[in-house]
Amino acid sequence: MKRVIILGASGSIGTQALDVIDDHPEELELVGISVYNQKEYALKLLNERHIPYVALKESDPSLEAAFPKTHFFFGEKGLEDLATLAEYDLLINALVGFSGFKPTLKAIENQKDVALANKETLVSGGDLINEALKNSRSKLYPIDSEHSAIDQCLRDRKHLKNLIITASGGAFRDLTREDLKNVKKEDALKHPVWSMGAKITIDSATMMNKGFEVIEAHHLFNVPFERIKVLKHLESIVHSMVEYADGSIIAQLSIPDMRLPIQYALLRSHDLRHNYQPLDLSKIVSLHFESIDFKRFPLLRLAYEVGQKGGNLPSVLNGANDEAVRLFLLDQISFLDIEDVIFQAIEKADYISKPGVDDIINSHNWAKEFVTRYFK
């Protein structure tokens, strides 16, 4: 029995992770969750099952009184408290944003395995996470469909040539740069394939999300950036591919359902029952692949450049993007303003070649403040 904690249990990945746990009651046991300020959702889950540990944004005396056998934690420290508990085996990090970085680090230091859906952890602090893994028994398993696909296809590292990550292109994949000048938030949130949270859906439209995935792949699989390729793939059926020295390519195909990579991250097996729709190849008329136009998607190009330079710049990239997307979702800036301010933040940031934890955090916070000031 594997005991599981879910950080971000009320989000898209978190709720689907609960589905996977419920599908495998003999293999998986939920022992803890964080739900930020979703107290009604926490109440629903606590009424359905006993959960020994719960983290909330802030204290709720009525909730605590109603469930005296549950131990409650609060705030960002509460996330770290969950990660450092002894009574679990695997942490699912499904948090959105930089708040996922320190709990991941704490879990690894606590010798716990981590199933990671929080991009910011590796984008901002991938070198520090990998250093912590060297000094721990912990394993890091990817939940992102693209990285899960690579994980499933990567069997012969000695003869690996390239990793190929596919990209749907997001809500504006068929628009020109000129078309993007007047797009609205409501349009950006209409992803053509996936149903995701607002932040990641905007990141998909700017292709920043794919840039983050490139940086993640570098840290997850120890592959140089020049050997990580991105292909536009409209159908989101092929989630990633691995190309080998002999020219052969192994691809992972499945319907776009995040419960499949979540299940693989938790149980590391394909030989498992589930209730998800299978992929029927006979109904797929065609699969399309296109090279990426970096002039059309400049943030993807920037992610490669920032990732190659490393240091604290990926944390700056992440912080600037977080704040720019937040302002766009509040209708305070335009879609193309997101790109402009991120490039400015990278240009103005002080470079630290070998940052520590505090440097990573400070760089992220500096970038957010820079973006806020930029538009005042």
C-alpha span between 164 and 141 (Å, rounded)? 18
Tell me whether strands 249-253 and 290-291 are parallel, antiparallel or unpaired: unpaired
Can you state the angle between helices 75-83 and 101-109, rounded to 10 degrees?
30
The pLDDT value given to residue 200 = 85
The pLDDT value given to residue 195 = 65
For the record, the structure tokens of 195 come out as 């149903």
**Nearest Cα residue to 306 out of 341, 366, 355, 347:** 347
Residue 156 has pLDDT above 80, yes or no: yes
Place of tokens 């320190």: 102
The pLDDT value given to residue 285 = 83
> What does the pLDDT average to over 332-360?
96
Give the chain's domains with CATH numbers.
2-142 (3.40.50.720), 146-308 (no CATH), 310-376 (1.10.1740.10)
More confident of the two residues 185 and 326: 326
Place of tokens 């997850």: 220
pTM of the predicted structure, to 2 decimals: 0.93
Side-by-side strand order, sheet with 53-56: 71-74, 53-56, 28-34, 2-7, 90-93, 113-116, 140-142
The pLDDT value given to residue 170 = 80
For the record, the structure tokens of 25 come out as 């009651």
> What does the pLDDT average to over 174-191?
82
C-alpha span between 88 and 106 (Å, rounded)? 13
Can you state the angle between helices 357-374 and 313-329, rounded to 10 degrees?
40
C-alpha span between 21 and 1 (Å, rounded)? 11
C-alpha span between 307 and 312 (Å, rounded)? 10
User: How does pLDDT run across 122-147, given as a tens digit for each residue?
Assistant: 999 999 999 999 999 999 999 999 99
C-alpha span between 179 and 175 (Å, rounded)? 6
The pLDDT value given to residue 272 = 66
Side-by-side strand order, sheet with 249-253: 249-253, 238-244, 160-167, 228-232, 290-291
Reported in sequence order, the residue ranges of the chain that DSSP labels E, i.e. its strands, are: 2-7, 28-34, 53-56, 71-74, 90-93, 113-116, 140-142, 160-167, 228-232, 238-244, 249-253, 290-291
For the record, the structure tokens of 323 come out as 């704040």
Residue 187 has pLDDT above 90, yes or no: no
C-alpha span between 355 and 310 (Å, rounded)? 10
C-alpha span between 116 and 5 (Å, rounded)? 12
C-alpha span between 101 and 275 (Å, rounded)? 32
Residue 106 has pLDDT above 80, yes or no: yes
Q: Which residues contact 184 (CB under 8 A, 6 or more apart)?
A: none
Average pLDDT along the chain: 93
C-alpha span between 373 and 367 (Å, rounded)? 10
Work out the end-to-end distance of the chain between its first and last CA atoms, rounded to an integer number of angstroms.
53
User: How does pLDDT run across 288-323, given as a tens digit for each residue?
Assistant: 999 999 999 999 999 999 999 999 999 999 999 999
User: How does pLDDT run across 251-279, given as a tens digit for each residue?
Assistant: 999 988 899 999 999 998 876 666 777 88
Reported in sequence order, the residue ranges of 263-320 that DSSP labels E, i.e. its strands, are: 290-291
> What does the pLDDT average to over 226-235?
94
More confident of the two residues 259 and 194: 259
